[in-house]
Structure 1
Amino acid sequence: MSGQSNAAPIIIKKVKKGGGDGHHGGAWKVAYADFVTAMMAFFLLMWLLNATTEKQRKGIADYFSPTIPLNRVSGGGDGAFGGESTFSEIALPQVGTGATSLNPTPQDKSSGREAQQAEDAEQRQLEEIEKILRGQSGESDVHPEMLRHIVTRVTDEGLVIELFETEEASLYMGETAEPTALLEQLAAMLVRVTSLVTNEMAIEGHVHARPVVLNNNPVWDLSTQRAEGMRKLMEQQGLPGARVARITGHADRELADRNPMSARNNRLELILLRKNR
């Protein structure tokens, strides 16, 4: 009994390992990042499917497909034309049956030459009439007093012949559409000069502005009546009626002089229209 009482007691000590609240490793962070990336890609795909057309989706699918070339006709190059030059027959625009703008067919060549020749001939005719009306041609018989009332210019629409009043000489009797002797002489001269060509003609009337605001402003009616009166006056002098394509009254909306009341704004414009317009 005494031997057992002197024996050292056995003590069992349980030690709890610490560090559980510390580092757990970073693998879960990588997995979470992959998950977030996959979700972003998924929502981006859903948005693309909803925001694109069927043709656009087909193009996107072809782009990411390694078995489908981006250019259906491979030319051995990575340019916009598949390796072809911009001046090659394949890249040039087609202008006819089997022809390009560089190598047109004989028919295209002849029709193009004929059209250009016709335009050049018409341009020369209009310029010749312009010289006559400016007194720069040997065949011109336009009186110097008439030249003071004529301004010409060649435009894309045709030859514009402008007849205008001055403070000293009027084309009409007061604020009416009754022509003066000067306008009658101008009309006869224009019929004679414009008979050199067969182009159709447009006649446009313009008047100056009125000094006060009127309840019944006559500028629209007056400009139209003057243009119509010029047509009748020229037909009386021998102008074929079929040559007049249109009659227009512009009132005081297109002034030739900054002063709206200037007599220079009282004018007629006769336009020899180009045939290809």
Structure 2
Amino acid sequence: MSGAESRRPIIVKRKRPVAKHGAHGTWKIAYADFMTAMMAFFLVMWLLGGLSDTEMEQVGDYFRTPLSVAIAGGDRSSASDSVIPGGGADPTRTDGMTRMRFTPDATTVDRQRLDRLKRRLESLIHQDPALNAMSSQIKIDIVQDGLRIQIFDDRNRPMFELGSAHIQPYIRDLLAAIAPRLDTMPNRIILTGHTDDLRYAGGAASYGNWELSSDRANAARRALVAAGYSPDKLLRVIGAAATQRLPGDGPSAAVNRRISILVLNAAAEQRIQSEGQALMPPPAPRRPAAQSADGRPGPGTTPAAQALSLIDGDELFVGPWASAPGTASLF
């Protein structure tokens, strides 16, 4: 070995043995956290499902409150006693601050109320097996005048006896189920009976589709009232015969034999009531006090009584008993 090779440093590499650990339990912690979060989520969903509409609005208002207000109190962040900034550079400033809150108009509130009723009725029908069996005969939709509930006839399962207003038991049960839901609404309803275009043998001068549709609408009205619906909320009971056939169906189709319940919105109810008031005759004008041929008060009529009568009749009477010459007086 040469001298140069003997002076070269010797490097020894030693590999440290790596201990083989078993499976760590960190995944169990993550899985436990996940299961806890899911349990809390389903618990919150279960609790929210049992709340009423008013309570749901209160919960929504709570979560819409700013964090600084929720922590420190007050009706807005600038009015809070906390030093947490919010709503402005100076949290103690109150002048010129306005809390913006959306206030829906009456039309929006009415539409939301009808939408909630629609969801409740659909949920009621789907949850009840007996009502769900006739779901193909029921249609609930929002129309211009409100919420319309249509119950159709079926060729194999008619709502009424043939040519009669005797209601079938399963339709009576359906009306009894929806009557409490309808009664919770302040909206008034219109009940309309419809028939097909098949005519009676006696002709139009005898009992026909007009009478039959009216009798069937009244039969539905009696079933609703018997189930607890307030009769004061009924605005109209109409027999439409075959004048409102459904598009795309023949005049004798089974779907044309139906009962329609229209839950009116506020605008439609006001319009219908104003139409009825427009048909009323105007009040008769009041006659003035009796007068003689020369225009003087008649016998037994004092000037004051005559003046009061003319004022009450929207006329101004200037009598000869003025307080001073050239002036007019009412008394």
**TM-score interval (norm. to shorter):** 0.5 to 0.7
Match of 1:245 in 2: 235
**Residue from 129, 136, 139 that aligns with 1:148:** 136
| Cα distance in 2 between the residues matched to 1:155 and 1:259 | 23
Percent identity of equivalent pairs: 19
| Cα distance in 2 between the residues matched to 1:132 and 1:194 | 10
Counterparts of 1:168-179 in structure 2, within 5 Å, are: 168-179=156-167
Match of 1:274 in 2: 265
Gaps of 5+ in 2: 1-101, 269-331
Counterparts of 1:50-199 in structure 2, within 5 Å, are: 116-135=104-123, 141=128, 143-199=131-187
Tell me, yes or no, if the aligned pair for 2:200 and 2:208 is still in contact at 8 Å: no
Amino acid at match of 1:270: I
| Cα distance in 1 between the residues matched to 2:125 and 2:112 | 13
Tell me, yes or no, if the aligned pair for 2:183 and 2:230 is still in contact at 8 Å: no
- Shift in alpha-carbon separation, 1:255–1:204, aligned structure 2, 3 A: same
Match of 2:22 in 1: none
SS across alignment from 1:159: strand
Q: Report Cα offsets for 1:17-60 as digits up to 9, x if no partner.
A: xxxxxxxxxxxxxxxxxxxxxxxxxxxxxxxxxxxxxxxxxxxx
Q: CA deviation at 1:131?
A: 2.0
Q: CA deviation at 1:236?
A: 0.7
Amino acid at match of 1:227: A
TM, length-normalised to structure 1: 0.54
Runs of 4+ in 1 over 4 A off after TM superposition: 211-214
Q: CA deviation at 1:217?
A: 5.8
For these two proteins, the number of residue pairs brought into alignment is: 163
Match of 2:27 in 1: none
Higher relative contact order (CA 8 A, sep 6+): 1
Q: CA deviation at 1:276?
A: 3.0
Q: Which has the larger radius of gyration?
A: 1
Match of 2:253 in 1: 262
| Cα distance in 1 between the residues matched to 2:128 and 2:122 | 10
Gaps of 5+ in 1: 1-112
Match of 2:277 in 1: none
Amino acid at match of 2:189: M
Q: CA deviation at 1:159?
A: 0.4
| Cα distance in 2 between the residues matched to 1:200 and 1:170 | 27
TM, length-normalised to structure 2: 0.45
Tell me, yes or no, if the aligned pair for 1:149 and 1:164 is still in contact at 8 Å: yes
